[in-house]
Structures are given as C-alpha cells and as structure tokens.
Amino acid sequence: MLGSAFTVRDEETLADAEVELEKSGIRVLRGSREEARSRRVHDFIAFDDPFGNRLELVTGQVQLPRPVRFGREAGITEFGHLCLDAPDVREAYRFWSTTFNAKVSDWIGDAACLLRIDPVHHKLAVFRNDRPGLCHMNFQVASIDDVMRSWRFLEQEGVEIEMGPGRHPQSTAVFLYFRGPEDFTYEYSWGVRRIEDDQAWRPRTFDPSEPGFIDLWMGPARRTISQPQAPLPSPDGPLP
C-alpha cells in the first residue's frame, strides 16, 4: 500500500497546515523522529483526504549532494505529478482548492480533474473511481527522444505498456504509461504545458466519449491500474 507526500516551505507552514486541517475536521497524525528519518525528512504530518487517500506533508527533505545514479539513463529530470482516485472529482476539486491552494487547469468531463499548485499544468490529477487509490506517478524527462527510447527499451524487456506513446491534449505532454513493480503504473512525459498567467487561463472541459480526449494521436485509451492507499493507523500506532 502506498501513500503520497508534498513538501511545504518550513516548520511554521507545517504547523499552520496541521491546525487548519484539524479545524476542517480532518484527523492529523504527526510522525515520530524515527518515522521522519525513514522518509529522509525533518518532520511530517499524515492525514486522509475525505475520500480515503493517505497523504503526508513534509518539511526538511534531505538533499543529495551527488547526482542520482540509475541503472539505466532514462532522462528523468524531475517529479511530474501524482494521480489519485476519488468517487467524485468535483468534490475532490472543492477539497483541494479550499483546504489547499490548488487551481483547476482542465476537466475531463466528470471523470477527471487536473490541478496545479505552480505553473506546471498539473501536479495533481484526480480520477473518478469507486475506491481511493494512487493510480499513477509521473516523471518528466529531458526530451521526446527519452520517451521514445524508454518505449523501445521497455518493450524489449517485456514490460507492459499501458498507454502510449501519445500526446495529451490537456497538458500537451508526450506520454508513456507502463506497469512497474508491484503492478504500479508509472508515466514518463515530456513537453508539459506551463500556465504562467493564472488570471488569463480558463479551465477547459474535454468529453471522455470523444475520440482523442486523452491522446491527440488517437491511441487507445486505457484506465491505469490503481494501488490501494495506506489508511491511517490508530492514534497510538506507528505510521507505515
């Protein structure tokens, strides 16, 4: 079972978030020193969103002074976004836009809401599903060539390609979804749209019944496999 985390500015911001979440009626647990050390952060809090998705806010994330050495050069430059599941994406939007400061970039009918917390088109996506879950994690890569090289490599290695290569009409990103370890879905993408002027941007709605609603190149659309979320333990229990 997986949980997800976002970094906040400092300890004061983390404390303010803890107070505001509790005021909203959301149960919050603060991690122990040992639990924070295992996450390589200074401090963190954990909570469930209204739909049962396990989330954490962290501060003081440890920075490595050396480049990360992967087993294969995939061209990864940064974390891209998380995709969560919820039974009602409109309610999810209300939660993330009021309790937090997320703004909607685009809608895919009532099937998905794409949310930004900085100029990147979306750092959080919420897709409709009966149960809470983490449906995929995205990493940005340096070039379209990196997307295509990974496609060829993964195919040669017998890894299941779930969607792509394709191009999302919402974010303009060239994408590739594949099934990774423990049946979790990962996405590599390049060329994501940035929204620099919040006031000028107007969220659009895409019809999921229309051809090309998720892929401008008209590839087959497929629902990615979701991982269940880790529920909060009892108040005295350790955080996973």
Here the CATH number for the domain that contains residue 184 is: 3.10.180.10
Ordered DSSP codes for 31-93: PPHHHHHHHTSSEEEEEE-TTS-EEEEEES----SS----SS---EEEEEEEEEEES-HHHHH
Query: Which residue in the block uniquely carries the two structure tokens 């099934």?
Result: 179
Which comes out higher in pLDDT, residue 165 or 239?
A: 165
Listed residue (236, 208, 232) closest to 222, CA to CA? 208
Task: Identify whether residues 116 and 21 lie together within a single domain.
Answer: no
Domain count, the chain: 2
Q: pLDDT tier at 1 (50, 70, 90 boundaries)?
A: very low
Mean pLDDT, the chain, rounded, equals: 92
In a domain, 219, yes or no: no
Check: CB of residue 219 under 8 Å from CB of residue 162: no
Task: Identify whether residues 189 and 144 lie together within a single domain.
Answer: yes
Q: Is 159 exposed, middle or buried, given 0-12, 13-18 or 19+ CB atoms closer than 10 A?
A: middle
Task: Identify whether residues 32 and 129 lie together within a single domain.
Answer: no
In a domain, 226, yes or no: no
Q: pLDDT tier at 34 (50, 70, 90 boundaries)?
A: very high
In a domain, 195, yes or no: yes
Percent of the chain whose predicted confidence (pLDDT) is above 90:
81
* pLDDT on residue 236: 58
Task: Identify whether residues 80 and 54 lie together within a single domain.
Answer: no
Domain holding 23, by residue range, is 4-59
Task: Identify whether residues 81 and 49 lie together within a single domain.
Answer: no
In sequence order, which residues have a C-beta less than 8 Å from that of residue 28 and are 6 or more positions away?
A: 18, 21, 22, 45, 46, 47
In a domain, 215, yes or no: no
Model confidence over 11-28: pLDDT tens digits?
999 999 999 999 999 999
In a domain, 180, yes or no: yes
Task: Identify whether residues 13 and 97 lie together within a single domain.
Answer: no
Residue 72 has pLDDT above 90, yes or no: no
Query: Which residue in the block uniquely carries the two structure tokens 């070039």?
Result: 143
